[in-house]
Amino acid sequence: MATAGHFLAQGWKVIATMRTPRQDLLPASERLRVVALDVTRPESMAQALQAAGPIDVLVNNAGIGLLGAFEATPMATVREIFETNTFGVMAMCQAVLPQFRERRAGTIVNVTSSTTLAPFPLVAAYTASKTAIEGFSASLQRELGAFDIRVKIVEPGYGPSTSFAANGQQRMQGLIPPPYEAYAHEVFAGFSRVESVTQASDVAEAVWRAANDLSGQLHFPAGADAVALVRNRQRA
Give catalytic residues, as residue numbers.
126
- Return d(Cα 73, Cα 171) in angstroms, integer: 10
Q: Which of 75, 58, 103, 13 is nearest to 211 (CA)?
A: 58
What are φ and ψ of residue 123, in 5° steps?
A: -135, 35
Residue closest to 60 by CA, chosen among 27, 31, 94, 34: 94
CA-CA distance, 204 to 222, in Å (whole number)?
8
Q: What is the DSSP letter of 168?
A: T
Cβ pair 114, 156 in contact under 8 A: yes
> Residue 151: which of 138, 166, 164 has the closest Cα?
138
Single-letter residue type at 178: P
Sequence-distant (6+) residues with CB within 8 A of 226 are 114, 117, 155, 156, 157, 198
Nearest-10 crossing angle of helices 42-52, 89-103: 40
